[in-house]
Amino acid sequence: MSKSVLLMSMSVDGYIAGPNDDRGNPGGDGFMRLHKWYENSAGEFGKPDGEAGVIWDELNATGAIVVGRRTAEQVDYYGGDHHGVPIIVLSSKPIPPEAAKYPTVTFMSDITAAMAAAKEAAGDKDVLVHGAYTAQKALEAGVLDELQIDQVPVLFGEGLRLFDVLSQRIELEIARVIDTPEATHLRYRVVR
Amino acid sequence: MSKSVLLMSMSVDGYIAGPNDDRGNPGGDGFMRLHKWYENSAGEFGKPDGEAGVIWDELNATGAIVVGRRTAEQVDYYGGDHHGVPIIVLSSKPIPPEAAKYPTVTFMSDITAAMAAAKEAAGDKDVLVHGAYTAQKALEAGVLDELQIDQVPVLFGEGLRLFDVLSQRIELEIARVIDTPEATHLRYRVVR
């Protein structure tokens, strides 16, 4: 059965972006520090060597994406192509002209409806969820199934937190821990 | 050589205490959820069964404690006895009468001096550091050597964060990961 899975790289103090995070500086200052674990031994960004490689494979095996508007805007809606799957942007604002040119990109304002549409589009595959605000809305609406948090051994001190607007206590279950020198890859299931 | 080691149980979203945290309700609402991993199979609080038991042993092998005043106050300075070692309370306020009765409890206002005094008292043993504000002050002053974060699979949504006033980026190194169903026990070394 299709699952919705949040994928985010996070510092030990909970940041997913550095300060000065905007369109000209996606992810803010030091953003690459949080994503360095994606580098292979040749220094190329993509599937890391070793055990963490499975996370890259899982990411590329998803059948649809639900992403927050802020995140999507910063990366120009992935140029309309994120491993070829439908991209649903969560937003209550009108569709901007620069997004209208991508046929793979749809805008929806309700997280529950967005997740249902994404699961339908994904078929048997999982849905990739991206963005801090979107993740918290999905958790609160009870439509997030799992969290893949790649916890990077650094304290950021400032920036954008993954969890900052969550309004309820939510129990998790540890589904998998991949322990590498670059990051601790934590997979949690949401307990309902 | 003696090391200073922060020991804190933390939710996945970074909280070490729930809301309504005060003297009458130490650790706030749901505090015990964060410390349930200390329970053994008989439901007794103390050394947990299995691999995580080593953390209890390490805690009890420390030779001195540096603790924040807020934390210390909430637990009445451990009744003056935390496995028999000297307790240094970090505080800039005068010593309160209720603490003066404990000969093991000393008050110091400077984190660097407090850590030096604790290391001297501890001899070859490690120094246990406790409290969120104290941890961040020690990190900023460059006198915290390691962090033992026991990360509990729950999202709290509100309460007191471990990292909230840190003013700089600090690199860590993953020293040890103990993966149990109750918590992910993360040991980090501070990189200087």
Give the distance from residue B171's alpha carbon to the nearest chain A alpha carbon, in angstroms. Answer: 5
Contact A174 B166 (CB under 8 A): no
Contact B177 A184 (CB under 8 A): yes
CATH of the domain at B37: 3.40.430.10
Residues spanned by the domain of A51 = 4-190
Residue type at A182 in one-letter notation: E
DSSP at B25: B
Residue whose C-alpha is closest to residue A13's, from B58, B83, B186: B186
Q: Which residues pair with B189 in a beta bridge?
A: B146, B173
Asked if B178 has any chain A CB less than 8 Å from its own CB, the reply is no
Asked if A98 has any chain B CB less than 8 Å from its own CB, the reply is no
Rounded distance between C-alpha atoms, residue A163 and residue B88, angstroms? 33
Q: What is the value of pTM for the model shown?
A: 0.96
Rounded distance between C-alpha atoms, residue A106 and residue A88, angstroms? 5
Residues of B in contact with A188 (CB under 8 A): 12, 153
pLDDT tens for each residue of B9-21:
999 999 999 999 8
Residues A46, A47, A49, A52: is their CA dihedral positive or negative?
positive
The CA distances from residue B158 to A6, A28, A162, B131, B136, in Å, are 21, 25, 14, 17, 19
Asked if B166 has any chain A CB less than 8 Å from its own CB, the reply is yes
Buried b / exposed e across B122-137, counting CB within 10 Å, b at 16+? beeebbbbbbbbbbbb
Tokens found for residue B37:
């991993």
pLDDT tens for each residue of B168-181:
999 999 999 999 99
Helix (H) or strand (E) holding A146: strand A146-152
The complex scores an ipTM of 0.95
Contact A166 B13 (CB under 8 A): yes
Rounded distance between C-alpha atoms, residue B189 and residue B148, angstroms? 9
Contact A149 B188 (CB under 8 A): no
- pLDDT per residue of chain A (192 residues) written in tens, 0 to 9: 899 999 999 999 999 999 998 878 888 998 999 999 999 999 999 999 999 999 999 999 999 999 999 999 988 999 999 999 999 999 998 888 889 899 999 999 999 999 999 999 999 999 999 999 999 999 999 999 999 999 999 999 999 999 998 989 999 999 999 999 999 999 999 999
Q: What is the 3-state secondary structure (H, E, C) of A41-67?
A: CCCCECCCCHHHHHHHHHHHCCCEEEE
Burial class of residue A43, CB neighbours in 10 A (0-12, 13-18, 19+): exposed
Number of folded domains that form chain B:
1
Asked if A162 has any chain B CB less than 8 Å from its own CB, the reply is yes
**Among partner residues A13, A14, A173, which is closest to B153 by beta-carbon distance?**
A173
